[in-house]
Amino acid sequence: MSDDRSAARAATDKMQQAAGAATEKMQAAGEAMKATGERMADNGASVGTKMLDQAEENVREAFAAMRAATQAKDLSEVMKIQGDYLRDQSSRAMTQAREIGELIVQFGKDTGETMRGGFKG
């Protein structure tokens, strides 16, 4: 009977060790998910702030062009101001899209690293 008790005790010990290891992995995964959620919120705020900054810049530039156009001496000067504004705005839009894209890519990398770190076994 003592052999049966020893075997039962050994099996119980192994089950407890396995349960402990599983619990630790689940806790690490939970912490990784929490960190990822926090990063998502931070990154979402960063992207939103960047977009607002860009919109503000675009409005400032549009008003500057409108002011310049109202002070133009003739139609050819108005046309030049409009052309310059459109060219600059096109360039600005491409730069702004690239900046937002870079933020989103970095966000994806950060999220992946956080998740991988929490699920290492």
pLDDT digits (tens, 9 = 90+) for 4-61: 788 888 888 888 888 888 888 888 777 877 877 777 778 788 888 999 999 999 999 9
Query: Taking the complete model, does pTM exceed 0.75, yes or no?
Result: no
Q: What is the DSSP string of the chain?
A: -HHHHHHHHHHHHHHHHHHHHHHHHHHHHHHHHHHHHHHHHHHHHHHHHHHHHHHHHHHHHHHHHHHHHHT-SSHHHHHHHHHHHHHHHHHHHHHHHHHHHHHHHHHHHHHHHHHHHHT--
**What is the number of other CB atoms lying within 10 angstroms of the CB of residue 46?**
13
